[in-house]
Amino acid sequence: MMDAFEILGVGLLFVLLVLLWAVPIVAAWNHRHPHRGTILVLDLLLGWTVIGWAVLVAWAFAGVPRRLVVSCPVCRLPMQLERGAAAGRCRTCGTLVRGPISPSPGGPG
């Protein structure tokens, strides 16, 4: 028979494990990870294995795209552009600013 302290301990351990298990999902969502949907599914399937969970934590934190800082051609203020994004909108004047590597017109996509 378990007493109240044992039940409390098991409950706390369970909550702690659930919080730890959700770390890759929360990290991927917080960083707007491009593969956050995949990380969610893989954590649901493999998060209970220690190795799978560790790989997902590393992926959730490492795979975050770094932002490029470019200057707006209209107002000359620096703005952040997500790497891989073709263009972003200036927060100050609303101009659509293209990244340094713009896709060639007529290309695939």
Residues forming contacts to Zn ion in the complex (CB under 5 A) are: 72, 74-75, 90, 92-93, 95
* CA 17 – CA 70 distance, rounded (Å): 42
Query: Cβ of residue 13: shortest distance to Zn ion, in angstroms?
Result: 52
Residue 68, beta-bridge partner list: 81
Query: Cβ of residue 73: shortest distance to Zn ion, in angstroms?
Result: 8
Q: Which is nearer to Zn ion, 8 or 74 (CB)?
A: 74
Q: Which is nearer to Zn ion, 80 or 92 (CB)?
A: 92
Q: Which is nearer to Zn ion, 23 or 97 (CB)?
A: 97
Q: Where are the alpha helices (DSSP H) in the chain?
A: 4-21, 23-30, 36-46, 50-62
Residue 71, beta-bridge partner list: 78
